[in-house]
Amino acid sequence: MNYMTIEKPKYNEFAQAPGDSAIKELEMMKVKIVSQLSGADVKFPIKNKEELVKIFPKPTPMGCSYKGKTMTMYDLIMNLNPSDFPLKNAGDVASVLTTRCPF
């Protein structure tokens, strides 16, 4: 019986798997969000966009970028749906906001 072998992609020592930097960026963003919320004495659950915007006002210097387009925290919050709420803890906030990054 002949078996086909599947070769692994050959990356040089400096190469990264596709999407690796985007995943790292999202993970770091989640850590920052949880850290900020943990230090801010936020009351949970957060019931809607309006409550979330009070925590992360429009000029909040955090967001994500992809192909030259930057989405601020405000943009990410504005892309949430009513079904995304309530947000019960800092982890929920970080997860739902990072899912709105256009990667």
pLDDT single digits (tens) 26-85: 889 999 999 989 888 899 999 999 999 999 988 888 888 777 778 889 999 999 999 999
Interacting residues of 49 by C-beta distance below 8 A, sequence separation 6+: 77, 78, 80, 85
Residue 29 lies in a domain: no
Residue 93 lies in a domain: yes
Residue 13 lies in a domain: no
Q: Please tell me the least confidently modeled range out of 14-18, 69-73, 99-103.
A: 14-18
Residue 81 lies in a domain: yes
Q: What is the token pair recorded at 60?
A: 């909040």
pTM of the entire predicted model? 0.74
Residue 48 lies in a domain: yes
Task: Inform me whether the pLDDT recorded for 17 exceeds 60.
Answer: no
Residue 15 has what pLDDT?
45
Residue 35 lies in a domain: no
What span, in angstroms and rounded, lies between the C-alpha atoms of 81 and 96?
10
Give me the number of domains the chain comprises. Answer: 1
Residue 18 has what pLDDT?
45
Residue 82 lies in a domain: yes
- Which domain, by its residues, includes 66? 42-103
